[in-house]
């Protein structure tokens, strides 16, 4: 209210004509200013638009009046309303001879129109004329408009005039001409590429303002292509020198700093020119040193130059002495109280550590301060920095920080970005599979549906393959601990779909593998999962497959499976599902249950998700069947084309031939009939009957067929079912054509993706005892100690530690086969990471630390290949954790690995994250 | 380059919005809103840069300064110096101050053509052309004189 009064008072003054606008306009602004609601403002503006529409079209509006109308249109448009009815009048106004009106016209036009507007064509002519005007102000107005209004097509129309203006006597015009050409370069680089020499000539313009305009243009051009400008280094350095030495006119000083913007631009250009060019860089060292010496670090602008200088020094060929200076400046920034300078300091540090990684250690506490600062910009920047300095020895702490950060923000954009970074870091530097799985679980839990599906597939593959080598013990340990962890996680309410999918898959595949959980228990859990997300078809698919597998495993092991009521009702429900994919899965489930023990063991063997699947493309196992059918008088098989040629001669008999299936296109419908067409016919004819009846027929048909067929046929059946379990999950499209599997189910269900519903969480929330992740968020008690610890674990790896480590390693290699006591985990260098260690899932995973799969793997490698090499590589790894390159296993190992996974057909795509395995096997 | 210059008051009303990239009015409005929500939640002592990848695309930043009832916001990409732009805002405001004699929000409201002229003298096509306040004032005055004449 107070504010309104002030406005009113000032308006009263205003209406006396201080601002030289008409009273009406002032009234308008005033009423809008006083509007109490958006709706009221809307009403006022609409009324204004109406009146403008009427009045602007009256004949013979005085030009002064017209100018005011147009200004009012600009105002209306600024408030977000459409004023397109008046555009043409603004265009007309640019034709006016009166400079004031012309300028107003140009101003309005540049505000109204974008470069692709139809009316532009009407202005081109005026612009051409104005560019030739004797009055330099007219030229300037036209040039300003050119920057805004000329698009790629119209550039040639004005280009010659503008090039001419480069030599205009007024420096203002020359400058604006340079800027206009710069704009053209941005629009369409090719149109002005022949003008590079002209630009260079203007670099020596007698007026520094023109020169500085050229610098801006040069910067953009060099950004695109450095080559043609390499020879400019010397002249640019000399310009910079002049600027630094105060030889530009006084008027370019800013707060007694000589031409700071010119300096900054030049430094940016030099950074580009000097990248990876030793000769060019040596030219610059002198002047850069000069700047570092002269710049005044007490003023804002001085710091801007210093920062720029640091940036340049870190991108050009390195000079140790200057880098030392740069590090000092960075230190000063970091120690400053100003948030702005801290921000710059963090950024500069991020650049410095690329060259001299050790310099980070001096600034540990400053960095941690920034990380804990409430200022979000600063925090984010610091996370950027941490991301850049992540190594194997601090990945756990950094990832923990990042996870904590995404846990606390709601902005999806940054959540996605940072979680993808977490995933990247985890894949690259994961100290152990255990840790990797836990980290992924957390990311899924927090960022849930923002995580790409591929990550989930990678995770499942990792669990399935384990360490990937022959060490079954470690693998099964990894799996059972994964199962444990997931069972724990399930207690939390509100889990994202993607995590639940992973959980379902893991439970289905390994839930009962180690014998510590009963099938009923696991199936119960699976049913609970579905209950939390009733609308999620994709998840249901995962769960049905998981239940199928568990039942098959149980039966194959000779036990009987009594489905719990929830499960039965869940399955029953799906018989009538709208999703054909789900229907198919439950029918298969039923069919599988009816099979005998041996068949089951062969179609759904335990832990075979990574095994190779042989597909008999020719269906040769059906030969005997075909022969007997032919002998019984059936017609031979005709291909689709042949049949077409024969008109409507198609017969069921030819359809009976199993080979037909390879040509049918609507696979989802035809699928059940593929192994046994006769059965399919029966089923189809009974579709109208009630459900139970139908199942019986369906499944009995299957059983009859399989038993009547030779054993090969059942194995074929098995192939199919296994494809369900494996191929669909991993979404490898290459399989589908050969194997005749119905459309990739993931694709199907993608289209049915149903957003999570909040209902039905009781199931998982009811046992809320001891959620593993919440307790780790204990606040730091003594800040300083905490910080120091954090610092140590971030920057650590001090000499003492590194000495101790290799010894342990070597010993370990010596004793080879025995399961070592977890030395490979990234050296928690100093006292060990802070108590709030997110990796500590030991509650839920009691045996975790005892056996580390990676260790055992390391042992294996050392046994398999020559012990000497792997020892050295391990030592190297300890000493030089930063270098990723040295970390990998022997190339053969990875090749082998690659070959294996290719064979298996579960590699999502070539080389998606080779680093993951590199490091896991390192 | 500079992608946009926004002046808005502390209630989020735009007082000047100049974009150096073509954007539809709807998008512009949205940007103004987003920028405002981004800025209004920041405390006075926080640093004057906000990373704006989400609003303007990768690598862009908002450099802003808060004067009385107004936010002056420059949207820049990686080709500009943050601290430098911060000073440029200072130049802009100083220039406005010397042209309007103790500039206040209302001056900008009622004289947005003048403000636009001033801005055109400082930033053109997304590049900084002039940073000297007195120079800017001189050329702007010259234009105004011609207009009146």
Answer yes or no: is pLDDT of A737 > 50.
no
A548 shares its domain with A502: yes
Residue A415's closest chain B neighbor by CA?
B54
- What's the pLDDT band for B93 if we cut at 50, 70, 90? very high
Q: Which pLDDT belongs to residue B24?
A: 81
Q: Which pLDDT belongs to residue A468?
A: 54
Q: Which pLDDT belongs to residue A403?
A: 85
Q: Residues A434, A407: contact at Cβ < 8 Å?
A: no
Contact yes or no for B129 and A378 at CB 8 A? no
Task: Report the mean per-residue pLDDT for chain B.
Answer: 87
B61: phi then psi, degrees, rounded to nearest 5: -135, 150
CB-CB: which of B25, B113, B126 is closest to A77?
B25
Last residue of a domain, one of A603, A625, A650: A603
- What's the pLDDT band for A373 if we cut at 50, 70, 90? confident
Q: pLDDT tens digits, residue range A484-534?
A: 888 888 877 777 888 888 888 888 888 777 777 787 788 888 888 888 777
Answer yes or no: is pLDDT of A849 > 50.
no
B94 close contact with A: CB closer than 8 A: no
Answer yes or no: is pLDDT of A751 > 80.
no
Closest to A392 measured CA to CA, from A790, A789, A791, A793: A793
- What's the pLDDT band for A613 if we cut at 50, 70, 90? low
- What's the pLDDT band for A646 if we cut at 50, 70, 90? low
Q: Which pLDDT belongs to residue A306?
A: 92
Which residues of chain B are within 8 Å of residue A220 when distances are taken between CB atoms? 1, 79
CB neighbours of A320 closer than 8 A, spacing ≥ 6?
none
Q: Residues A152, A170: contact at Cβ < 8 Å?
A: no
A491 shares its domain with A593: yes
Q: pLDDT tens digits, residue range A478-492?
A: 777 788 888 888 877
Q: Which of A66-75, A360-369, B88-97 has the lowest mean pLDDT?
A: A360-369
- What's the pLDDT band for A606 if we cut at 50, 70, 90? low
Gap from B46 CA to chain A (nearest CA, Å): 6
Answer yes or no: is pLDDT of A908 > 50.
no
- What's the pLDDT band for A884 if we cut at 50, 70, 90? very low
Note the ipTM here. Answer: 0.72
Gap from B102 CA to chain A (nearest CA, Å): 13
A525 shares its domain with A503: yes
Read off the pLDDT of each residue in A468-472 and give the average, rounded to a whole number.
Answer: 60
Read off the pLDDT of each residue in A652-677 and give the average, rounded to a whole number.
Answer: 50
Q: Which pLDDT belongs to residue A173?
A: 92
Answer yes or no: is pLDDT of A858 > 60.
no
A568 shares its domain with A542: yes
Domain housing A398: 390-451
Whether A159 is in a domain gets the answer no
Q: Which of A535-539, A579-583, A616-620 has the lowest mean pLDDT?
A: A616-620
Read off the pLDDT of each residue in A170-185 and give the average, rounded to a whole number.
Answer: 90
Q: Which pLDDT belongs to residue A817?
A: 42
CB-CB: which of A180, A217, A308 is closest to B81?
A308
Which residues of chain A are within 8 Å of residue B104 when distances are taken between CB atoms? 10
d(CA A460, CA A446): 18
Check residue A511 and report its DSSP letter.
Answer: T
Q: Which pLDDT belongs to residue A783?
A: 55
For B28-71, give the DSSP string: HHHHHHHHHHHHHTS-TTS-SEEE-HHHH-TT-EEEEEEETTEE
Q: Which pLDDT belongs to residue A905?
A: 43
- The residues that bridge with B9 in the sheet, in sequence order, are B70
B143 close contact with A: CB closer than 8 A: yes
Q: Which pLDDT belongs to residue A511?
A: 77
Read off the pLDDT of each residue in A815-834 and give the average, rounded to a whole number.
Answer: 42
Which residues of chain B are within 8 Å of residue A99 when distances are taken between CB atoms? 146-147
Q: Which pLDDT belongs to residue A556?
A: 76
Answer yes or no: is pLDDT of A662 > 60.
no
Answer yes or no: is pLDDT of A630 > 90.
no
CB-CB: which of B14, B43, B120 is closest to A144?
B120
d(CA A747, CA A219): 47
Domain total of chain A: 2
Handedness of CA A884, A865, A608, A715 (dihedral sign): positive
Gap from B22 CA to chain A (nearest CA, Å): 6
CB-CB: which of A100, A251, A377 is closest to B46?
A377
Q: Which of A21-35, A83-97, A528-542, A868-882 has the lowest mean pLDDT?
A: A868-882
Q: What percent of chain A has pLDDT over 70?
A: 66
For A173-196, give the DSSP string: HHHHHHHHHHHHHHH-HHHHGGGH
Read off the pLDDT of each residue in A852-875 and give the average, rounded to a whole number.
Answer: 46
- What's the pLDDT band for A893 if we cut at 50, 70, 90? low
CA-to-CA separations, A667 to A663, A672, A673, A682, B137, in angstroms, rounded: 10, 9, 10, 18, 76
Interface contacts A/B by beta carbons within 8 Å: 149
Q: What CATH number has the domain bearing residue A486? A: 1.25.40
A506 shares its domain with A523: yes
Of the two residues A745 and A4, the one the predictor is more confident about is A4
A599 shares its domain with A459: yes
A421 close contact with B: CB closer than 8 A: no
- What's the pLDDT band for A555 if we cut at 50, 70, 90? confident
CB-CB: which of A80, A179, A304 is closest to B25?
A80
Q: Residues A205, A171: contact at Cβ < 8 Å?
A: yes
- Residue B25, Cβ density class (10 Å: 0-12 exposed, 13-18 middle, ≥19 buried): middle
CB neighbours of A805 closer than 8 A, spacing ≥ 6?
A823, A827, A878
Closest to A445 measured CA to CA, from A383, A511, A493: A493
Contact yes or no for B82 and A7 at CB 8 A? no
HSE at residue A747, side-chain half, CA atoms within 13 A, is: 10
CA-to-CA separations, A40 to A43, A54, A112, A430, in angstroms, rounded: 5, 22, 25, 59
- The residues that bridge with B123 in the sheet, in sequence order, are B128
A415 shares its domain with A471: no
B91 close contact with A: CB closer than 8 A: yes
Gap from B68 CA to chain A (nearest CA, Å): 12
Whether A560 is in a domain gets the answer yes
Q: Which pLDDT belongs to residue A725?
A: 39
A71 close contact with B: CB closer than 8 A: yes
Contact yes or no for B25 and A251 at CB 8 A? no
Read off the pLDDT of each residue in A9-18 and give the average, rounded to a whole number.
Answer: 44
Bin B58: left if φ > 0, else alpha if -120 < ψ < 50, else beta: beta
Residues 774-813 of A with CB under 8 A from B: none
Answer yes or no: is pLDDT of A845 > 60.
no
Q: Residues A444, A502: contact at Cβ < 8 Å?
A: yes
> Where does A316-394 have alpha helices with state H?
320-335, 339-355, 364-371, 376-388
Of the two residues A760 and A278, the one the predictor is more confident about is A278
Whether A534 is in a domain gets the answer yes
A597 shares its domain with A459: yes
CA-to-CA separations, A124 to A89, A94, A168, in angstroms, rounded: 15, 11, 21
Q: Residues B88, B128: contact at Cβ < 8 Å?
A: yes
- What's the pLDDT band for A1 if we cut at 50, 70, 90? low
CB-CB: which of A147, A186, A304 is closest to B81?
A304
Q: Which pLDDT belongs to residue A269?
A: 92
Counted residue by residue, chain A has a size of 922
Contact yes or no for A114 and B147 at CB 8 A? no
Answer yes or no: is pLDDT of A744 > 60.
no
Closest to B136 measured CA to CA, from B94, B81, B102, B105: B94
Cα torsion A194, A199, A201, A205 to 10°: value is 160
A33 close contact with B: CB closer than 8 A: yes
A466 shares its domain with A446: no
Last residue of a domain, one of A603, A634, A662: A603
CB-CB: which of A26, A114, A343 is closest to B22?
A114
At what angle are helices A171-187 and A208-224 packed, to 10 degrees?
A: 10
Whether A649 is in a domain gets the answer no
B47 close contact with A: CB closer than 8 A: yes
Whether A420 is in a domain gets the answer yes
Q: Which of A141-150, A214-223, A387-396, A804-813 has the lowest mean pLDDT?
A: A804-813
CB-CB: which of B51, B127, B143 is closest to A137?
B143
Q: pLDDT tens digits, residue range B8-45?
A: 988 888 899 888 887 888 888 888 888 998 888 888 88
A472 shares its domain with A444: no
Q: Which pLDDT belongs to residue A174?
A: 92
Task: Supply A61's token pair.
Answer: 């509006």
Read off the pLDDT of each residue in A784-795 and give the average, rounded to a whole number.
Answer: 69
Whether A707 is in a domain gets the answer no
Answer yes or no: is pLDDT of A598 > 90.
no
Last residue of a domain, one of A585, A603, A621: A603
d(CA A352, CA A315): 9
d(CA A488, CA A491): 6
B79 close contact with A: CB closer than 8 A: yes
Read off the pLDDT of each residue in A442-466 and give the average, rounded to a whole number.
Answer: 78
Task: Report the mean per-residue pLDDT for chain A.
Answer: 71
A555 shares its domain with A478: yes
- What's the pLDDT band for B53 if we cut at 50, 70, 90? confident
Which residues of chain B are within 8 Å of residue A340 when distances are taken between CB atoms? 47-49, 82-83, 86
Whether A572 is in a domain gets the answer yes
CB-CB: which of A99, A183, A301 is closest to B125?
A183
Gap from B10 CA to chain A (nearest CA, Å): 12
- What's the pLDDT band for A805 if we cut at 50, 70, 90? very low
A480 shares its domain with A599: yes
Answer yes or no: is pLDDT of A887 > 70.
no
A342 close contact with B: CB closer than 8 A: yes
Q: pLDDT tens digits, residue range A257-309?
A: 888 888 998 999 999 998 888 888 888 898 999 888 888 878 888 899 999 99
Beta strands B49-51 and B123-124, pairing class: unpaired
B134 close contact with A: CB closer than 8 A: yes
Q: Residues A678, A656: contact at Cβ < 8 Å?
A: yes
Gap from A304 CA to chain B (nearest CA, Å): 5
Q: Which pLDDT belongs to residue A395?
A: 83
Of the two residues A691 and B2, the one the predictor is more confident about is B2
Q: Which pLDDT belongs to residue B89?
A: 92
Whether A379 is in a domain gets the answer no
Residue B19's closest chain A neighbor by CA?
A111
């Amino acid at each position: 209210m107070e504010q309104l009064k002030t406005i009113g008072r000032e308006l009263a003054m205003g209406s006396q004509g201080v601002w030289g606008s008409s009273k009406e306009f002032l009234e308008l602004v005033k009423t809008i200013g006083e509007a109490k609601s958006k709706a009221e403002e809307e009403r006022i503006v609409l009324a204004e638009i109406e009146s403008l529409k009427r009045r602007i079209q009256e004949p013979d509006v005085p030009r002064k009046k017209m100018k005011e109308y147009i200004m009012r249109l600009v105002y209306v448009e600024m408030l977000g309303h459409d004023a397109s009815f008046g555009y043409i009048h603004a265009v007309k106004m640019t034709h006016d001879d009166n400079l004031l009106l012309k300028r107003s016209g140009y101003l309005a036009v540049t505000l109204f129109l974008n470069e692709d507007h139809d009316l532009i064509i009407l202005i081109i002519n005026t612009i051409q004329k104005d560019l030739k005007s004797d009055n330099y102000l007219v030229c300037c107005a036209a040039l300003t408009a050119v920057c805004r209004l000329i698009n790629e097509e119209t550039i040639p129309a004005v280009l010659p005039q503008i090039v001419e203006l480069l030599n205009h006597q007024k420096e203002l015009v020359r400058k604006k001409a340079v800027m206009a050409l710069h704009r053209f370069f941005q629009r369409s680089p090719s149109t002005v590429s022949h003008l590079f020499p002209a630009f260079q000539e203007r670099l020596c313009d007698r007026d520094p303002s023109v020169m500085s305009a050229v610098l801006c243009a040069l910067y953009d051009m060099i950004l695109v292509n450095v080559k043609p400008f390499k020879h400019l280094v010397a002249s640019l350095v000399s310009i910079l020198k002049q600027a630094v030495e105060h030889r530009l006119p006084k008027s370019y000083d800013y707060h007694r700093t000589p031409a700071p913007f010119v300096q900054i631009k030049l430094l940016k250009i030099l950074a580009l020119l000097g990248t990876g060019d030793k000769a060019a860089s040596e030219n610059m060292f002198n002047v850069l040193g000069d700047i570092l010496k002269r710049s005044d670090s007490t003023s804002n602008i001085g710091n801007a130059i210093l920062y720029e200088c640091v940036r340049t020094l870190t991108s050009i060929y390195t000079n140790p002495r200057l880098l030392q200076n740069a590090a000092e400046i960075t230190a000063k920034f970091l120690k400053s109280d100003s948030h702005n300078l801290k921000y710059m300091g963090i950024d500069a540090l991020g650049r410095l550590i690329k060259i001299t990684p050790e310099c980070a250690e001096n600034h540990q506490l400053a960095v941690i301060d920034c990380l804990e600062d409430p200022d979000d910009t600063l925090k984010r920047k610091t996370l950027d920095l941490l991301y850049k300095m992540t190594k194997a020895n601090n990945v756990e702490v950094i990832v923990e920080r990042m996870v904590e950060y995404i846990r606390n923000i709601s902005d999806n954009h940054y959540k996605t970005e940072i979680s993808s970074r977490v995933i990247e870091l985890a894949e690259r530097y994961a100290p152990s599979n255990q840790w990797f799985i836990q980290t992924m679980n957390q990311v899924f839990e927090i960022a849930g549906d923002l995580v790409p599906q591929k990550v989930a597939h990678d995770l499942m593959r990792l669990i399935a393959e384990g360490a990937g080598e022959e060490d079954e013990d470690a693998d099964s340990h990894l799996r059972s601990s994964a199962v444990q962890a997931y069972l724990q996680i399930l207690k939390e309410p509100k889990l994202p779909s993607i995590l639940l999918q992973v959980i379902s898959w893991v439970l289905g595949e390994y839930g009962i593998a180690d014998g510590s959980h009963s099938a009923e228990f696991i199936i119960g859990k699976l049913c609970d999962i579905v209950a939390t997300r009733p609308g999620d078809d994709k998840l249901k698919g995962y769960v049905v497959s998981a239940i199928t597998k568990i039942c098959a495993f149980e039966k194959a092991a000779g036990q009987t499976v009594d489905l719990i009521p929830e499960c039965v009702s869940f399955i029953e429900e799906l018989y009538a599902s709208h999703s054909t994919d789900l229907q198919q899965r439950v029918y298969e489930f039923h069919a599988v249950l009816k099979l005998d023990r041996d068949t089951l063991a062969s179609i759904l063997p335990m832990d075979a998700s990574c095994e190779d699947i042989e597909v008999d493309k020719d269906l040769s196992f059906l030969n005997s069947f075909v022969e007997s059918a032919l002998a019984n008088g059936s017609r031979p098989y005709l291909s689709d084309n042949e049949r077409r040629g024969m008109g409507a001669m198609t017969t069921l008999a030819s359809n009976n031939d199993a080979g037909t299936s390879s040509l049918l296109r609507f696979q989802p419908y035809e699928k059940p009939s593929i192994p046994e067409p006769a059965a399919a016919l029966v089923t189809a004819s009974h579709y109208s009957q009630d459900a139970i009846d139908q199942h019986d027929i369906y499944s009995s048909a299957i059983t009859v067929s399989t038993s009547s067929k030779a054993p090969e046929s059942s194995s074929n059946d098995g192939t199919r079912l296994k494809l369900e379990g494996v191929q669909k999950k991993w979404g490898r499209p290459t399989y589908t054509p050969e194997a005749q599997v119905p459309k990739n189910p993931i694709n199907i269900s993608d289209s049915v993706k149903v957003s999570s519903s909040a209902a039905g969480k009781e199931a998982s929330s009811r046992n809320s005892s001891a959620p593993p992740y919440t307790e780790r968020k204990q606040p730091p008690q003594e800040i300083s100690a905490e910080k120091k610890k954090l610092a140590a674990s971030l920057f650590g790896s001090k000499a003492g530690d590194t000495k101790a480590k290799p010894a342990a390693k070597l010993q370990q290699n010596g004793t080879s086969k025995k399961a070592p006591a977890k030395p490979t985990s990234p050296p928690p260098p100093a006292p060990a990471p802070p108590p709030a260690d997110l990796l500590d899932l030991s509650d839920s995973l009691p045996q975790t630390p005892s056996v580390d799969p990676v260790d055992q793997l390391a042992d294996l490698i050392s046994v398999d290949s020559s012990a000497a090499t792997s020892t050295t590589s391990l030592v190297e790894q300890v000493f030089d954790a930063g270098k990723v390159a040295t970390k990998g296993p022997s190339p053969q190992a990875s090749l082998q690995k690659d070959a294996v996974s290719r064979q298996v057909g579960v590699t999502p795509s070539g080389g998606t994250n080779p680093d993951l395995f590199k490091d896991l096997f390192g | 380059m500079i992608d946009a210059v926004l002046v808005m008051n502390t209630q989020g009303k735009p007082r000047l919005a100049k974009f150096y990239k073509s954007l539809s009015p709807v998008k512009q409005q949205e940007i103004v809103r987003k920028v405002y929500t981004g800025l209004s939640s920041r405390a006075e002592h926080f640093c004057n840069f906000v990373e704006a990848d989400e609003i303007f695309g990768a690598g862009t930043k908002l450099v802003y300064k808060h004067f009385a009832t107004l936010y002056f916001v420059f949207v820049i990409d990686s080709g500009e110096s943050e601290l430098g732009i911060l000073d440029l805002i200072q130049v802009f405001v100083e220039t406005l101050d010397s042209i309007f004699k103790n500039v206040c929000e209302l001056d900008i409201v009622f004289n947005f053509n003048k403000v636009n002229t001033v801005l055109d003298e400082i930033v053109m096509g997304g590049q900084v052309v002039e940073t000297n306040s007195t120079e800017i004032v001189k050329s702007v005055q010259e234009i105004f004189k011609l207009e009146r004449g």
